Amino acid sequence: MAETAEWSALSALAAANRRHDPRASLNDPERCARLVVDACGLRIDFTRQLYDLPTLDLLLALARTQGVVGTVENTLRGGQVNATEGRAALHTALRIPPGGSLVVDGVDVAADVHAELDRMSAFCDEVRSGNWRGHNGVPVKAIVNIGIGGSNLGPKMAVEGLRPFVDESLDMRFVSNVDPADLDRALKGLDPQTTLFVVCSKSFTTLETMTNAAAAREWVIAGHGGDSTAVSSHMVAVSTARDQVADFGIDPATGMFGFWEWVGGRYSVGSAIGLSLMLAIGPTGFREFLAGMREMDEHFRTAPADHNLPILLALTWLWNGSIFAHDSVAVLPYSSDLHLFPSYLQQLDMESNGKRVRADGTPVGVHTGPVVWGEAGTDGQHAFHQLLHQGTRVVPCDLIGFAKSIAPDQQARQDLLMANLVAQAEALSVGRTEAEAASLEDGEDLASHRTFPGGKPVTVILAQQLDPMTLGKLVALYEHKVLVEAAIWGTNPFDQWGVELGKEMADVIVPELHGSSKDAHDASTSALIDAVRALRSN
């Protein structure tokens, strides 16, 4: 990538600090016409970004040179794009419409997807109607999802995000951390006879998940007088490991829901990993969520690059991160229900694009994925927005908002929330000059403190309201943004080898904490193990 003419030209702009000041062109009709894009029910405003139109054209040319279109087509048709693990990354197949077809290696994966969706729907209808009974014949009142990574972040974020659509008769809870406090907190106040666990692990060997699942299993058995046969009525599995599921005590025929090797964890919320989401919002709501993803998939596949939301968002992140080395991005949803969306995007983006080598093993040579963080507005305004406005670091921001409240009687408060979003976009980009600050009351003494430099890179994403379809569109938007960036860098966004080393080391250290002879560690690590041992024994 660094050798292309487009990259050299972009690098030269960075070396000369040639960032466009959007304040000079916020009233430019041509800029607004090109940098405000309406598609799929989303309005994305890039007018406050720090590139001019010729630079955008250069970024679009870079995408062409790096073969983004070819990478997208290969991914969507089931090519083996995850080269290091020898598999496809076909999460878009999870939202193929009924009656659709996608044949990969001689198998119509669409037929398999819809068969599993139908099984999920039938099960969820049984639970939600009260027809699924616990071991003692009592209907389910609480759902506890046990998973980690994408098996937790996706469904938990979506259940929280779609709170107004969740069945109020079900108490939805999530467990991910191996810290005993996490499971203890989730089980507090629950009755083993009315609780259903959804255990999500592709291999059914994930250390954290299966540790928590084993503890939950014992809780279920103890709550039924030691009867281990109660497990099959109070625990179901989302997995690909049929034998392990059966050995755990869950009947695979009735209590196991599958997905496929071509579904990566952080891309899996639209698969059976989303079973807890379907239980919460119902099969119809879940299919609307998938329909929103599918609409964004089709836009991504067919829209020209200069009107393509994921491509434009990816080029914006790349300009700010790879070109100008702004090392973090703040994602700020102006929705309390979407407070977990930044955490969800942390995994989606940082696990996918936190790479130092290309797919062929050679160094990337440029900055890749940024640190992704954020909080719901307006909470963030009273926490870290001070740094965004007047700190010495430049932090690009994605502001996400919804014009219409789900509850009509709360529209006035929704308007106040949206006024804050618009005000933050204006304040971050326009700011306040020292002369303007001096003109305020007591301004001369405090002018330097009340000056806002402005010129901060801001993208504003608006939708009418937050519902299942809209959330599906937002999830797919960022999924595809990740793919475009990876295509430009030449990296593989579908593996995560960086997760492995710490897990391997932890497996070695666990018995050492219990007194086994220590492996060869550096002196500092050995001392740390000894310190933990000593503190445990006191």
- Residues taking part in catalysis: 351, 382, 503
The C-alpha atoms of residue 373 and residue 384 are separated, in whole angstroms, by 11
The C-alpha atoms of residue 338 and residue 297 are separated, in whole angstroms, by 22
The C-alpha atoms of residue 523 and residue 529 are separated, in whole angstroms, by 10
- Name the token pair of 343: 């955490």
Q: Evaluate whether 285 touches 37 at the Cβ level (below 8 Å).
A: no
The C-alpha atoms of residue 463 and residue 43 are separated, in whole angstroms, by 6
User: Within a 10 A sphere around the Cβ of 106, how many other Cβ atoms?
Assistant: 5
The residue among 136, 126, 134, 413 whose CA lies nearest residue 283 is 126
Look up residue 417 and give its amino acid.
L
Write the CB contacts of 177 (distance below 8 Å, at least 6 apart in sequence): 148, 208
**Residues β-bridged to residue 463:** 42, 402
The residue among 190, 191, 192, 214 whose CA lies nearest residue 201 is 214
The C-alpha atoms of residue 120 and residue 140 are separated, in whole angstroms, by 16
The C-alpha atoms of residue 265 and residue 109 are separated, in whole angstroms, by 18
